[in-house]
Amino acid sequence: MRTAHLDRADMCAIAHDLATFFAQSADSYDRAGTLPEPFYHALRQSGYLSFVVPQEYGGRGASLADMVRTQEILAGGCGSTAMAVDMTVHVIGRVGQTRSYPEPIYAAICADIVANGALVNAVASEKELGSPSRGGLPATTATWDGSQWRINGHKLFVSMAPMLRYLITNVALPVTADMPHGGIANAVVRGDAPGLSFRDTWGDALALRSSGSGDVLYHDVPVADDWLIERKSAAATSPAEPPYGMAWFALTLAGVYLGIGQAAVDAVARYANTRIPTALGKPIATLATVQHRIGEASIPLQAARALLYDVADTWSDDPTARMTLGPRIAAAKYAATNAALVATDQALRIAGGFGITRDLPLERFFRDARAGITHPPNDDAALELVGRDVLQRHAV
């Protein structure tokens, strides 16, 4: 089944309407540290969640370049929701290009997204493992009981945890004759599976408080054999392939943090044009110092946006270039998240005391932007990758 075509302008318009709706109450959900269920209802009703689903499964077939732009817009309304929804966006987008899931599994998940607005997340982080991007075997295990797999473990930072329909859970497989070192796989766990429980550990976090990024506990959670996917030996090395996971994850999230930074600039610019101290007798927007700080906030955002869009467009328009884009993807993510840090910091400096109160959304934007530096590739990894690439290109 194919849906009517939506072009990029249409998708951006829907994202803008959603962001406007989110902005009306995002602060109240941030204060409470709770998932904004009305936001997710609106996402389902608008069809936003199906943008990234391939057309052959009833979605819009949005490209990576499309989703970078819509995610940036969405984050201007609520950074927590945009970041959380990005977990579904990057998984479905990546697998739509790699087709690394068995076709019946991917088709079923996509159909559920289109029909019901199902939410998906790749669940990997653990306390001892650290960032899965740095390698290592998960402590969460899958054990065969003779008829199905049983999942046991404890995962962290699972955005939208209580609302997820599918938890793509990274697990360790037991040692077998075929895998003497054990193996790893992804267990597709239903959100209503027996033995699955959720722990709210996130509502008072520094940033993204309404993203529902709590803990998930697995106690003998059953998974059918064909829903344990992407199995490989723990000792296996795969040939080099385009950085699909890095591209979809890093670039769409870069869009989210760019959107948070831009929202801070927009909010403080509106404030500066209406703030008239009695001693000044005119808006503080007329002051050269305020104009200077707005410039300091805006220029890094503009530069980061240009780089981000260029990399995302290249990925989407030229598949032959994907193999070489790793360093530029890392650079775009680094530029966007750090531009958001600069922008939100400058916004607080402009607003002064009012900026750190709840009267303005600036302190929320400031906190939320800080989460960007925790997503891989982090700053050190990005700088190392970019630097190594430059040095290799100039090696004698």
Residue 113 has pLDDT above 50, yes or no: yes
Q: Of 195, 199, 189, give the one whose Cα is nearest residue 220.
A: 195
Q: Taking residues 137-162, report their average pLDDT.
A: 97
Contact 261, 343 (CB under 8 A): yes
Same domain, 74 and 197: no
pTM: 0.95
Distance CA 101, CA 121 (A): 14
Under the banding of pLDDT at 50, 70 and 90, the label for residue 135 is: low
**Domain range enclosing 292:** 244-393
Q: Would residue 362 count as lying in a domain?
A: yes
The string of pLDDT tens digits covering residues 231-255 is 999 876 555 567 888 999 999 999 9
The pLDDT value given to residue 5: 66
Question: Which residues lie closer than 8 Å to 125 by C-beta, 6 or more apart?
Answer: 131, 132, 155, 156, 157, 158
Q: How many residues does the chain have?
A: 396
Q: Are residues 139 and 198 in the same domain?
A: yes
Instruction: Kindly state the percentage of the chain with pLDDT values over 90.
Output: 91
Rounded Cα distance, 296 and 294, in Å: 5
Which residue type, as a one-letter code, is found at position 96? G
Domain boundary among 233, 261, 292: 233
Report the C-alpha gap between 184 and 233 in whole angstroms: 6
What is the CATH classification number for the domain harbouring 58? 1.10.540.10
Q: Is 151 within 8 Å of 167 (Cβ atoms)?
A: no
How do residues 171-201 score in pLDDT, each as one tens digit?
Answer: 999 998 888 889 999 999 999 999 999 999 9
Alpha-carbon gap, residue 189 to 221, rounded angstroms: 8
pLDDT band with cut points at 50, 70 and 90 for residue 129: confident
pLDDT in tens, 306-357: 999 999 999 999 999 999 999 999 999 999 999 999 999 999 999 999 999 9
Query: Rg of the Cα trace of the chain?
Result: 22
349 exposure class (CB count in 10 Å sphere: 0-12, 13-18, 19+): middle
> What is the average pLDDT value for the chain, to the nearest integer?
95
User: 376, exposed or middle or buried, with CB in 10 Å at 0-12, 13-18, 19+?
Assistant: middle
- Are 136 and 227 within one domain? yes
- Helix or strand holding residue 142 (H, E): strand 141-144
**Average pLDDT for 92-118:** 97
Checking if the pLDDT of 133 tops 90, the result is no
Q: Structurally, how many domains does the chain consist of?
A: 3
**Of 369, 265, 368, whose CA–CA distance to 33 is shortest?**
368
Pair (248, 213) in one structural domain: no
pLDDT, tens digit, 9 for 90 and up, residues 3-53: 456 799 999 999 999 999 999 999 999 999 999 999 999 999 999 999 999
Same domain, 296 and 375: yes
Q: Which one-letter DSSP state was computed for residue 57?
A: G
| Residue 197: predicted pLDDT | 97
Instruction: Kindly state whether residues 276 and 216 are assigned to the same domain.
Output: no
DSSP state of 189: E
Bridge partners of 166, per DSSP, are 120, 190
For range 272-283, the mean pLDDT: 97
Backbone angles phi, psi at 82, to 5 degrees: -60, -45
Q: So what's the pLDDT on residue 134?
A: 56
The pLDDT, as a whole number, for residue 205 is 97
Mean pLDDT value of segment 212-235: 95
**One domain for residues 66 and 99:** yes
Domain CATH number, residue 334: 1.20.140.10
On whether residue 112 sits in a domain, the answer given is yes
The confidence band for 166, taking pLDDT boundaries of 50, 70 and 90, is very high
Is pLDDT at 305 greater than 70 in this prediction? yes
